Structure 1
Amino acid sequence: MNCIAILDIGKTNKKLFLINEQYHIVYERGLSFPETKDEDGDNCEDIHLLTQWVKDSLQELTTQPAFHVKAMNFSTYGASFVYLNEQGEVIAPLYNYLKSYPGSLQDAFYNKYGGQQQICSETASPALGSLNSGLQLYRIKEQQPALFKQIRYALHLPQYVSYLVSGKMMTDITSIGCHTMLWDFAHKQYHPWVKEEGLEEKLPAIFPGDEVVEINNFKIGPGLHDSSAALIPYLESFREPFILISTGTWCITLNPFNNQALTPEELGQDCLCYLTYQGRPVKAARLFAGNEHEQQVRRLSEYYQTPVNYYQQIAFDPAIFAHLQATAVKEAPLSGKDLLQASRFAHRSLSDFTSYEIAYHQLIMDLMEQQQHSTALVTTGTAVRRIFVDGGFGKNPVYMHMLAAAFPQMEVFAASVAQATAIGAALAIHRHWNNQALPGDLVQMRHYAVNRELAYR
């Protein structure tokens, strides 16, 4: 059976997939391993364990006689650099993107390059400390000059994994175009500060995300940032403008059909831009709604003495929704920034609700107030008429019905692609390994229609 192998590397789980020419997963192996610590005692990925796992996975492929593996690609979490010396050896920890960033160093950087607002706007990156991976390399230059001098190549994690297989040093546009502060979106090149600080010479040449390195007729892709990879099945399946709300701990609204530059107001409300593997900007808005939901259902569980996952049994009840709308006390509107912090539900008294079901509907209504604002930041003024929701909330009927009510002018679908990041990484290099046409059922969908009477007032 002809297949492509994909290494899909998350913070917790590392997975090896074999995907056949019809884009069905025919083999899967997963592993997680403990973190280690960097020189400051902060937790970080163990790059040596990860390297060994990649090599072991390659070895595993040779023991699968039922499969003819024609190609390989990679999707990994972003905002993480691997630092190599002239000999291609790892010479530093794989620093965690959640590592705290020195405020004084960050301030000095912004002051040097025109102020925070200007550089955030030009690089389409909110100020996120170590999550701006370009600032990780800048920090090494300023605080560990001897290490900086040793670094010959700085590879984002997807390209490091690709390098382990292909031996070729590459940079990929999806990794440098994701809140790194490295990329000047207006001029489609590295921002001037990258050259001025001597970073550009440590970044290998940009390699197209849909090209491959060929070794003995085996095709090796350059690897992709996972958020960009997960969007590819949707971009390949639909031509009409759409947005994807990717839900998990974060609910990220991705709009590949919005070319407007980010405004300072949008940057201040957690908007940013990604780049597709073809270099197109994807405007995105982030909301910490999955985390808020998790906290509040714990609170509901304690108050009503129910299992924590009891909400999974709750069906959408139009009567409860209509009642809550009709009896809602007119609350002062919140400003954009305040609206994105915590939901109103955190401040509500549970004694006001006579049942778990009513309280849960109110929780989703309050989250939807935030989601409506966050999604509108990147959809207003665009031709988008379809919303796809994947991840946890896509399986939640209360959320989906309320989303349809919040956007009555849109078609709303729960959509899912099994292992979307892995499938996306395979699709990016489709023409190099697969002669079959793309299947029409890559995305599974369920439509949620809204009762016009229930649309948000």
Structure 2
Amino acid sequence: MHMHANPGDALIVLDIGKTNVKLALVDADGRLVAEQRRPNAILHDGPYPHHDTEGIWTWMLATCRAFAGRARISAIVPVTHGATAALVDDDGLVLPVLDYEAALPGLDYAALRPAYAQTCSPLLPAGLNLGRQLAWLQQEHPDAFARARHILMYPQYWAWRLCGVAAGEATSLGCHTDLWDPVRQDYSPLVARMGWEDRLPPLAPPWATLGVLRPDVAQATGLPADCEVLCGIHDSNASLMRYLGGDSATTPRTVLSTGTWLIAAAFGADLAGLREDADMLANTSAHGQPVACMRFMGGREFGALAGDQPATCSFEQLEQMVSRDTMAIPCFADGGGPFAGKAGRIDGPAPVDAGERFALATLYCVLMTDYCLDALGARGPITVEGSFTANPWFGPLLASLRPQQAVSYSDDASGTTCGGWLLRYRAATPPGQHHPTPPCTIGGLSAYRTTWRSTLNLHVPTAQLACN
């Protein structure tokens, strides 16, 4: 860790991802002063698999103490993964915080959940629909559930522990929970049906200051007594903060967040085109506006096609795949996406080496992304962020297929940290740049796409079973 001379105002971003927990000390210019991380382990010592909230809390207090001498820390911002909630009374948790990957047997949730048209929230496995988790906890642990004074989304649970003020916030409520109506920007019918209204605290924007540190927390961390606690935000919405501009998510533009999942967020797209059977959904932006999204397991499928030791391909190897009509037909992962449940296969002459496998995997991810963008009606410039920015061909090939949308790569290594910082410094220009990727022209690429789509009987979906 390094630090700048004469440190001025700074803030701490508490970033709880599904795999790791991170504390980042960021100065007023958006520069990272210090960072510490620990694994986010799931515990199996209770009634069900749950998060190690006490381990995170103890570690966070100690790390904040280490950060306290490095800058004048004026705020803490919680940013966490979605599909997670905490049930608390005035003393703390009444039940452990359930892991969304846990199986939830013995509940007929389909009979409870609202229609897709009301929530734009597709039916998902395990506890990925937060409404299912809450209904299951209420059914399996009725006495403890009845003691809960607040149902807190996960970022707001940490804010509440830090300052004692309970709040709700729309980015976490609107993340495939079944609890939220993204068009009305209000609770879905599930909340009243289950009798949860009184437990859901008043809504606040993610940048709202809920209060200052509780005196015991200030003492334990050495942070200033007037250090403010912000309401906080869902992590993928934190990553979208830098693209929102002003106060609007209506200016057409498209962000591709890439990693294990490739998530396409289409600002300005019409929700009427969303379809539950294609794993399309609406998220809610930090500005309280619905954002049409579609996703597939891009990183996992790329790995399945490229192999364990991928070697970047040459332009000639991409040309070979296209000219031979060697194509990967979805899908190559078992979790979600528009073709979930279909068994993937390779048509045409099989790739013979690591380079050709990389070429085929790249073409597959480009065609899948292009399909999702058409299905969404995505418009405006496309920014790629995350792991796919390391692929020199992904952006240029996508630009070639979508000449009406300029494609660029972001060099921001941590969109979640930057988004947390922007909640505090909303008028600031975030650090980092975008690098345009000029189109890469391969003869026959457009015909290759046509063949790929017709092989899957792929026309861009019509708005049957549409959301709203």
TM-score w.r.t. length of structure 2: 0.82
Q: Determine if contact 2:25/2:67 at 8 Å carries over to the other structure.
A: no
Residue 373 of structure 2 is matched in structure 1 by 375
Q: Determine if contact 1:3/1:18 at 8 Å carries over to the other structure.
A: yes
The amino acid that maps onto 1:356 is: A
CA deviation after TM superposition for structure 1 residue 256, in Å: 2.2
What is the rounded CA distance, in whole Å, between the counterparts of 2:368 and 2:300 in structure 1?
13
The 3-state SS of whatever aligns with 1:11 is: coil
- Pairing partner for 1:419 from 408, 414, 417: 414
The 5 A counterparts of 1:57-456 are: 57-62=63-68, 64=69, 66-85=70-89, 87-102=90-105, 104-110=107-113, 119-129=115-125, 130-215=127-212, 216-236=225-245, 241-261=252-272, 263=274, 266-298=275-307, 308-311=308-311, 314-317=312-315, 319-328=316-325, 340-341=339-340, 346-348=344-346, 352-378=350-376, 380=377, 384-430=379-425, 438-439=428-429, 441-451=431-441, 453=443, 455-456=445-446
What is the rounded CA distance, in whole Å, between the counterparts of 1:142 and 1:409 in structure 2?
51
Which runs of 5 or more structure 2 residues have no equivalent in the other structure? 1-6, 213-224, 448-468
Residue 36 of structure 1 is matched in structure 2 by 43
What is the rounded CA distance, in whole Å, between the counterparts of 2:367 and 2:342 in structure 1?
8
The 3-state SS of whatever aligns with 1:29 is: strand
- Cα gap change, 1:331 to 1:170, in 2 (>3 Å): closer
The amino acid that maps onto 2:110 is: D
Q: Determine if contact 1:212/1:429 at 8 Å carries over to the other structure.
A: no
- Cα gap change, 1:415 to 1:343, in 2 (>3 Å): farther
What is the rounded CA distance, in whole Å, between the counterparts of 2:37 and 2:327 in structure 1?
50
The 3-state SS of whatever aligns with 1:445 is: strand
Summarize deviations over 1:115-142 as a string: whole Å, max 9, x none: xxxx222111000141111221122222
Summarize deviations over 1:371-430 as a string: whole Å, max 9, x none: 22122222x2x5x23111111111101322322233232211111313111110110222
The amino acid that maps onto 1:171 is: G
Q: Determine if contact 1:169/1:204 at 8 Å carries over to the other structure.
A: yes
CA deviation after TM superposition for structure 1 residue 339, in Å: 6.3
CA deviation after TM superposition for structure 1 residue 360, in Å: 2.3
Residue 62 of structure 2 is matched in structure 1 by 56
CA deviation after TM superposition for structure 1 residue 452, in Å: 7.1
CA deviation after TM superposition for structure 1 residue 170, in Å: 0.9
CA deviation after TM superposition for structure 1 residue 39, in Å: 4.1
CA deviation after TM superposition for structure 1 residue 28, in Å: 0.9
Structure 1, 172-181 or 139-148: larger mean CA deviation:
139-148
The 3-state SS of whatever aligns with 1:292 is: helix
Summarize deviations over 1:10-43 as a string: whole Å, max 9, x none: 1221111111121111111111253211645x53
Q: Determine if contact 1:395/1:414 at 8 Å carries over to the other structure.
A: no
What is the rounded CA distance, in whole Å, between the counterparts of 2:138 and 2:330 in structure 1?
45
The amino acid that maps onto 2:356 is: I
Q: Determine if contact 2:398/2:439 at 8 Å carries over to the other structure.
A: no
Q: Determine if contact 1:159/1:169 at 8 Å carries over to the other structure.
A: yes
What is the rounded CA distance, in whole Å, between the counterparts of 1:316 and 1:68 in structure 2?
50
What is the rounded CA distance, in whole Å, between the counterparts of 1:275 and 1:267 in structure 2?
17
Q: CA RMSD in A?
A: 2.8
- Cα gap change, 1:228 to 1:217, in 2 (>3 Å): same
The 3-state SS of whatever aligns with 1:442 is: coil
- Pairing partner for 2:11 from 4, 10, 30: 4
What is the rounded CA distance, in whole Å, between the counterparts of 1:342 and 1:406 in structure 2?
27
The 3-state SS of whatever aligns with 1:448 is: coil
- Cα gap change, 1:104 to 1:21, in 2 (>3 Å): closer
Q: Determine if contact 2:87/2:152 at 8 Å carries over to the other structure.
A: yes
What is the rounded CA distance, in whole Å, between the counterparts of 2:67 and 2:430 in structure 1?
28
Q: Determine if contact 1:3/1:20 at 8 Å carries over to the other structure.
A: yes
What is the rounded CA distance, in whole Å, between the counterparts of 1:24 and 1:279 in structure 2?
28
The amino acid that maps onto 2:446 is: Y
Q: Determine if contact 2:182/2:289 at 8 Å carries over to the other structure.
A: no
Q: Determine if contact 1:121/1:262 at 8 Å carries over to the other structure.
A: no
What is the rounded CA distance, in whole Å, between the counterparts of 2:145 and 2:206 in structure 1?
28
Residue 303 of structure 1 is matched in structure 2 by none
Q: Determine if contact 1:78/1:157 at 8 Å carries over to the other structure.
A: yes
CA deviation after TM superposition for structure 1 residue 190, in Å: 0.8
What is the rounded CA distance, in whole Å, between the counterparts of 1:160 and 1:333 in structure 2?
39
The amino acid that maps onto 1:109 is: L
- Cα gap change, 1:243 to 1:316, in 2 (>3 Å): farther
Q: Determine if contact 2:178/2:190 at 8 Å carries over to the other structure.
A: no
Summarize deviations over 1:299-336 as a string: whole Å, max 9, x none: xxxxxxxxx3342xx2441x3333332221799999xx
What is the rounded CA distance, in whole Å, between the counterparts of 1:174 and 1:418 in structure 2?
22
The amino acid that maps onto 2:119 is: T
TM-score w.r.t. length of structure 1: 0.84
The 3-state SS of whatever aligns with 1:121 is: helix
What is the rounded CA distance, in whole Å, between the counterparts of 2:130 and 2:327 in structure 1?
43
Q: Determine if contact 2:207/2:232 at 8 Å carries over to the other structure.
A: no
What is the rounded CA distance, in whole Å, between the counterparts of 1:164 and 1:28 in structure 2?
21
By percentage of residues, which structure has more helix?
Answer: 1
The 3-state SS of whatever aligns with 2:240 is: helix
- Cα gap change, 1:348 to 1:29, in 2 (>3 Å): same
Q: How many residues align?
A: 421
- Cα gap change, 1:69 to 1:454, in 2 (>3 Å): farther
Residue 47 of structure 1 is matched in structure 2 by 53
